[in-house]
Amino acid sequence: MGLTVSRPVVIKAIVTEGFKRLYLQDLEEAIKRVDTIVQQLDMQIRRTELERQVSPQSRAIRQQLELERARQEGTKAELSMRLREAQELALNSEFTQGTVESLVEVNVGDNLFTKLGRTEIVVKDGIIMEIREE
């Protein structure tokens, strides 16, 4: 009797000109989206400052807006760091894109560590070039 379990599979991309261009473009667009959100939050914060009556509720709203603004600034800083790293990627190097889940069947007598060991899929411009299992 076997059992099917899930395991993580690391996706690695071989860096090509096309991959690098698309990755940089995605990061730049994400930074622009965060900038837009920060601008909207700044406008809402200014609006709360212009209100004549400062109530506990308006102070709480402003505090929430400022917390969200700080969170978005943190996101922007992380994206900017990733953008700088992406600009330095060497062609034909491997870049870890993320992980996906895979199903694997285990049976009595199997070595669990082998079955659930590190598995990687290496892609080049979206084409699977290699599947590595340890």
pLDDT tens sequence across 96-114: 999 999 999 999 999 988 8
With bands split at pLDDT 50, 70 and 90, how would you rate the model's confidence at 50? confident
Q: What does the radius of gyration of the chain's CA atoms come to, in whole angstroms? A: 23
pTM of the predicted model as reported, rounded to 2 decimal places: 0.77
Residue 72's Cβ-side half-sphere holds a number of Cα atoms within 13 Å equal to 19
With bands split at pLDDT 50, 70 and 90, how would you rate the model's confidence at 52? low
127 or 52: whose pLDDT is higher? Answer: 127
Q: Which residue has the tokens 């411009």?
A: 125
Q: Does 45 have pLDDT greater than 70?
A: yes
